[in-house]
Amino acid sequence: MNRHYLKARLDKEFNLRLKSKLGKRLNRRLTSGETPKRFGLVGYPLGHTLSPYIHKQIMYSSGINGVYRSYEVKPDDFIDTAGRLIADLDGFNITIPYKQEIIPQLESLSGDAAKFGAVNTVSSNKGYNTDITGFRACGVPLKDKRVMLLGAGGAARVLLCEALEQGAAAVGVYARNPVQAQALVGRFSALFQETEMFCELIAGNAAAVNDQGGASDGPSPSHRTSPLPYDVILNATPVGMWPHCEGIPLSRAIIAEAEYVFDTIYNPLATRLVLAARSMNVKAQSGLGMLLHQAVAAQKIWNPCSDMSGFSFLTLEQMLRRRLLKKYPVKIVLTGFMGSGKTTVGRSLSKSLGIGFADIDLMIVEENAKPIPTIFREDGEAFFRRSEQHCIQKAMDMPKSMVIATGGGAVINPENVGIIRNNRGFIVFLHTDTKTIFERIGDDGGRPLLNGKSRQNIADLYEQRLPQYYAAADFTLEADGEVTDIVCRIRAAFGF
């Protein structure tokens, strides 16, 4: 293709784009000569924020001439820098640890910001709170519900106020720092007397993962102080946030009692808390919707006259999902008994998500340059298990998001569960009934553990392993049906 042809084609494409609604807006912007408005995010630290990306997309699709960047401000510099940013920028978002600290620096507050004592958006020297707009847009059921609120920081405050305003029947606040939880309860219980409010005193360090990688499941329900179970769980703590995806703030038993879980975390898209809920058919929502809605609300405050009809919430949500998977690698690790479909489902899942796939059994074969039955025969099962662990580690160390199919015995060793869990791996248990397993494995000579075994022996081995599969799994699903359906259900659980 020669240069002239290429230029002519690019010009044509450009002109076509300029004829579109968005193009016209962009053209106006490009030819107006106006200096772009300056927006940003202030906080410390700001390591993994998605806000610059989100705001750029919203501004681009709405024809807003603006830039949005991160301002990481150390606590010692905050007072000086805040004044300068208020004067210099056209508007900014503010996040931890400054949502309260910014208030004395501002001339006025919106009704919501004053009520919560927390600001996340600043415009013309006035503080707003669009976190609440974002949370309200998520439609979490709160009226007449018994709500357990995890956390007592800025985000918890917003969720608490909304629960109180919506008329929750009771709110138990659980924070690792009980003094902070008490302060939050103290501040709001006088204002909302119809709602019973108390500190939930779950014992133990719920976020901890034990040596065996997450077998520690957080505190058990017998530890909750509330005599009645909770209907709704709201997580406003960072437990489970990437890169510490192994964290889970509650035991599965408490989660199972609820009917709805909302997690403010959006990275990963589904935390272990969200997966545990979905695994037990408890409705669960991640923080992605709240994040997007608060960003749109902030842009509306900064650019009240802009026409935002060109902006598609769903498109941006989809773009963010892809971006999260690319920039913040996680591993979806499939487990289950021989014949449960780990490899078939794994390949199909990786293809539909557009990410890589690794099969641990194949890696073992490659590593040892011989088939699995030969390894068992010549080197013994203990050798095979060492090689298996080594390959699991190798797969987990790969720097991209991937789907990984393990052999049926992999998660029976808690050390392997630890390796998976502590490397941003989420375990999916493909549960099948023994009938399906017999149908699928047939007389497969490639599985040394089955050689010379009766159906009863095999069923016994499965029975014996079942509790370990369940204990290791972040998400369990019935996998007897169609591959496409299983893939859809796993995608939905992970928020895709």
Q: From residue 320 to residue 359, what is the string marking binding to ligand S3P with x (rule CB under 6 A)?
A: ------------------x---x-----------------
Q: Minimum distance from CB of 371 to ligand S3P (Å)?
A: 10
Cα 235 to Cα 381: distance, rounded to the nearest angstrom: 43
Measure the CA dihedral 289/320/476/258, to 10°. Answer: -10
Distance of CA 163 to the CA centre of its chain: 22
Q: Minimum distance from CB of 419 to ligand S3P (Å)?
A: 16
- Is 73 buried (19+), middle (13-18) or exposed (0-12) by CB count in 10 A? buried
Instruction: Please report which helix (H) or strand (E) contains residue 252, including its range.
Output: helix 252-257
Which one of 34-42, 147-155, 280-288, 443-451 is the stretch in contact with ligand S3P (CB under 6 A)?
443-451
Single-letter residue type at 301: I
Which one of 201-209, 223-231, 432-440, 441-449 is the stretch in contact with ligand S3P (CB under 6 A)?
441-449
- Nearest to ligand S3P of 269, 345 (CB atom): 345
Taking CB under 6 A as the rule, does residue 408 contact ligand S3P? yes
Taking CB under 6 A as the rule, does residue 449 contact ligand S3P? yes
- Nearest to ligand S3P of 116, 462 (CB atom): 462
- Nearest to ligand S3P of 293, 342 (CB atom): 342
Applying CB under 6 A, which of residues 121, 447, 475, 490 lies at the interface with ligand S3P?
Answer: 447
Taking CB under 6 A as the rule, does residue 372 contact ligand S3P? yes
Applying CB under 6 A, which of residues 162, 200, 257, 361 lies at the interface with ligand S3P?
Answer: 361
- Nearest to ligand S3P of 251, 348 (CB atom): 348
Which one of 78-86, 155-163, 394-402, 445-453 is the stretch in contact with ligand S3P (CB under 6 A)?
445-453
Instruction: Please report which helix (H) or strand (E) contains residue 366, including its range.
Output: helix 360-368
Interface with ligand S3P (CB under 6 A), residue total 10
Q: How many residues does the chain have?
A: 496
Taking CB under 6 A as the rule, does residue 431 contact ligand S3P? no
Residue 38 sits at φ, ψ, to 5 deg, of -115, 120
Q: Minimum distance from CB of 456 to ligand S3P (Å)?
A: 17
Whether residue 29 contacts residue 63, with contact meaning beta carbons closer than 8 Å, is answered with yes
| Nearest in space to 430 (alpha carbons), one of 376, 466, 390 | 466
Cα 241 to Cα 264: distance, rounded to the nearest angstrom: 10
Task: State both tokens at 487.
Answer: 């893939």
Taking CB under 6 A as the rule, does residue 448 contact ligand S3P? yes
Whether residue 53 contacts residue 323, with contact meaning beta carbons closer than 8 Å, is answered with yes
Cα 385 to Cα 169: distance, rounded to the nearest angstrom: 52
Single-letter residue type at 102: I
Which one of 138-146, 227-235, 404-412, 475-483 is the stretch in contact with ligand S3P (CB under 6 A)?
404-412
| Nearest in space to 294 (alpha carbons), one of 137, 68, 156, 149 | 137
The C-alpha angle with vertex 264 and arms to 194 and 105, in degrees rounded to 5, equals: 80
Q: From residue 280 to residue 319, what is the string marking binding to ligand S3P with x (rule CB under 6 A)?
A: ----------------------------------------
Strands (E), 213-352: 232-235, 260-263, 283-285, 331-335
Taking CB under 6 A as the rule, does residue 146 contact ligand S3P? no
Which one of 4-12, 177-185, 262-270, 446-454 is the stretch in contact with ligand S3P (CB under 6 A)?
446-454
CA atoms within 13 A on the CB side of 160: 34
Q: Minimum distance from CB of 198 to ligand S3P (Å)?
A: 48
Q: Minimum distance from CB of 114 to ligand S3P (Å)?
A: 59
| Nearest in space to 323 (alpha carbons), one of 101, 50, 1, 131 | 50
Which one of 231-239, 284-292, 349-357, 402-410 is the stretch in contact with ligand S3P (CB under 6 A)?
402-410
Which one of 17-25, 199-207, 305-313, 407-415 is the stretch in contact with ligand S3P (CB under 6 A)?
407-415
Q: Minimum distance from CB of 435 to ligand S3P (Å)?
A: 17
- Cα–Cα distances in Å, from 397 out to 88, 390, 392, 442? 44, 11, 9, 34
Q: Minimum distance from CB of 337 to ligand S3P (Å)?
A: 7
Instruction: Please report which helix (H) or strand (E) contains residue 66, including its range.
Output: strand 66-72
Distance of CA 46 to the CA centre of its chain: 17
Q: Minimum distance from CB of 368 to ligand S3P (Å)?
A: 12
Taking CB under 6 A as the rule, does residue 409 contact ligand S3P? yes
Site residues (CB under 6 A) for ligand S3P? 338, 342, 361, 372, 407-409, 447-449
